[in-house]
Every structure is written in structure tokens, then in C-alpha cells.
Copies of this chain bind each other. A is one copy, B any other.
Amino acid sequence: MNFEYFTPTKVVFGRGTEERTGELVKEQGCHKVLIHYGGGSAVRSGLIDKICGSLEASGISYVMLGGVVPNPRLSKVREGIRLCREEQVDFLLAVGGGSVIDSAKAIGYGLANEGDVWDFYDRKRTAAGCMPVGAVLTIAAAGSEMSDSSVITNEDGWIKRGYSSNYCRCRFAVMDPELTCTLPDYQTQSGCVDIMMHTMERYFNLSDNMELTDGISEALIRTVMKNAKLLKADAANYEARAEVMWASSLSHNGLTGCGTGGGDWASHQIEHELGGMFDVAHGAGLAAIWGSWARYVYREHPERFARFAVQIFGLEDNGDPNALALAGIEKMEEFYRSVGMPTSLKELGVESTDAQIREMAEKCSFFGKRTVGVMKKLDASDVEAIYRMARG
């Protein structure tokens, strides 16, 4: 299976690396930065001050725009575009997790292209560029610091859409695992699910992957599971934070997709509508959906799920791929529950009406204009069935 692999992001990983932010922006030849961030924790912890000091030391000026929320919103993106135009910003520095980075990428598209930025997310046009983005990562989850993707929610209809292109890949990513040590457990575990799922979406497809890609993917999933459990017991375990943080980037920079033909991604598409309508934590939403998706599709290629069961959970190959596949799905749900993650919409805290489920399924299929997934091409009625199975 032919593939392309392009990960130009310069990673600077380890303790104290946030002190190098100014030097890294300067390396890019940029002069005025938008510091884009979420809630007040980045301010209260002193991180924003440190970054401002580092920028000043490199002779870089800046303006700030905070208030990015999970499932980041189009209105904030528009606010950022206006501000950056007024202030003649030439570099976007995201200080936060996936939501903040995705919001910065969307601002970058808006600045480098004419017209309405939502057009790209709405598949009306393709972008011809993106203003340079860099990241100081504070939440290990989305992998947006090395990925080509960005997901934005349009409050007009609460539609959540992703747009991907190499233009938006971060120029650099500063990753100090220590910055994630104070993250609440639910967010940590939700992040771990998201990391695993970025690899699992690529792992499950109709063909057999390259062995090297499978081996790397399995090592990554096992590493994240082990360290998620360690973090459940001790949130401040630096080594475990480091493993999870590096896994977050490798899981979504394309490495685990080499030779897979692109992966399935149905679970992500199905969860996006949940996130758009109910504003749930993305990883928790994925955990709540995955088992139902897997049971709905595993018969299309049970051998892939069987391999997963053997390599990830050490189940013995009994020669019955269907039984092995189901046992592996069961084991994964057990793992999710063991780290406090939901395996149904009910456990996720979502009480959905039939009408809401139909609406999400319709939105997910772009009102009949697309199917999602490759293991099985799912139309609106398939997606509706999966939401119903996941109700719990």
C-alpha cells in the first residue's frame, strides 16, 4: 500500500523546554506572536508569564487571546483572525491542548486565505496556505501538535467538522511532561483514550497492515494503557506523563498509519456529533462509542480484531477469530472501565432522545452525502444503530 509521510514539526521534549519558546519562534524568522490559550490555569500556573519572558528575551512582541473552550468554537476563531489582522501578527503560538492548537490552526487558515474560514471545514474550498503555528503542549491527547488536522465547532447548528492539510502542521512543539502533571484524572484518562484511538482508527481496516506499522502501533497502545493505569494511581508520575505525551504525538503524526491506506475513523466521526451536541470530553466520548462500533463491524475482518486481542491483551489464539475478536473488544471495555472511562452513552452522562440520535446520525452522514468508515461503510441508519447500541 503506497503512502506519504511528512512530519516537519520540530519537537523539543523534556523538563523546562518551555523556556526555549522565544528562541524557537525567532528561528522561524517571525516577530509578532498571538499567544492563544484556554482557561485561566495556564495563567495561574505561571506558564504564560514564563513564555512571555522567553519571547521578550528573544525580542519577540506578542498579543494574547484566551478563552478557547473544549470543542473549540468558530466565533473564537473569527475573533482571533480579526485580532491578528489588526495587530499584524505573523506567528500563532498555541499554549494548551488540542482545542487550543486546533483553534490556532483555524485562525492560521483564516489569515492565509481570503473569504470565510468555515468554507474549509464545510468542504466548500481547500486552503492554499496557513500562517505558521507553534505549540506549547499542556494536555497530552489530541496529537494536534504534530498532526495535519484541526476540528472546529460551528455554534450555528452546533456542527463539529475537521479539516486536514499539511499547511497547518506545527513548526515546532514544546513538550514538557511536567506541565501535564496537574491535569485532573478524568481529563488525563480521556486523553489516553484519544491517543489510543488515533492509532486504533488506523489499525482497524480491511487489509493487513505493514508488519512494522502494526508492531509500532501495538507497542504504542500497550505503552499508553500501562501508563494510564500508573497515572490513575499517581497523577504526578513524570515518567508516565512523558510516555503518554510522546505517544500522543506519535499516535497522530501519521507514523501509525503508514501503509494502512488511511484507516477507518468512523468512531471519531460518530463521536464528533456527540461532542457537537452534548459537549462531552472527546476521549470519553470515543470510549463510550468504540465497543458498539467494534461489535457492529468486526465481522467484516475478524482476523484484524483477533490479532488485536492477541497482541494487546495476550489472549491465546484459539483459531476462532470471531470469538477472539469479541473477547478482545470485551477486554478493551474492561480496560476503559478500569481507568474510569465510560463504555456507554449512559455512563458518559448523555441521556439522548430518539430524535437527537436521529439528528446526530443525519449530521454524521452529512445528510446522506457521505458514509463513514472503511471496515464497513456506514450510512445514517448504520450510525443510528451504533448510537442506539451505545446507549447502555
Q: Sorted from nearest, which 7 A-B pairs have the closest CB atoms?
A: A2-B14, A215-B219, A5-B11, A8-B8, A6-B10, A212-B223, A211-B223
Chain B nearest CB, measured from A40 CB (Å)? 28
**Known interface pairs A4-B12, A13-B4; A223-B215 also in contact (CB < 8 Å):** yes
Q: Check if A1 is an interface residue, CB within 8 A of chain B.
A: yes
Total contacting residues, chain A, CB less than 8 A: 37
Q: Check if A247 is an interface residue, CB within 8 A of chain B.
A: yes
User: A227-268 interface mask toward B, CB cutoff 8 Å, 1 = contact, 0 = none?
Assistant: 100000000000000110011001000010011000000000
Do B210 and A220 have beta carbons less than 8 Å apart?
no
| Chain B positions within 8 Å of A6 at CB level | 9-11
Do A242 and B259 have beta carbons less than 8 Å apart?
yes
| Chain B positions within 8 Å of A11 at CB level | 3-6
Chain B nearest CB, measured from A252 CB (Å)? 14
| Chain B positions within 8 Å of A14 at CB level | 1-3
Q: Check if A295 is an interface residue, CB within 8 A of chain B.
A: no
Do B15 and A4 have beta carbons less than 8 Å apart?
no
Chain B nearest CB, measured from A127 CB (Å)? 17
- 274-312 of chain A: CB within 8 A of chain B: none
| Chain B positions within 8 Å of A1 at CB level | 14
Q: Check if A165 is an interface residue, CB within 8 A of chain B.
A: no
Closest to A166 in B: B10
Q: Check if A61 is an interface residue, CB within 8 A of chain B.
A: no
Chain B nearest CB, measured from A217 CB (Å)? 9
Do A242 and B7 have beta carbons less than 8 Å apart?
no
**Known interface pairs A4-B10, A15-B2; A212-B247 also in contact (CB < 8 Å):** yes
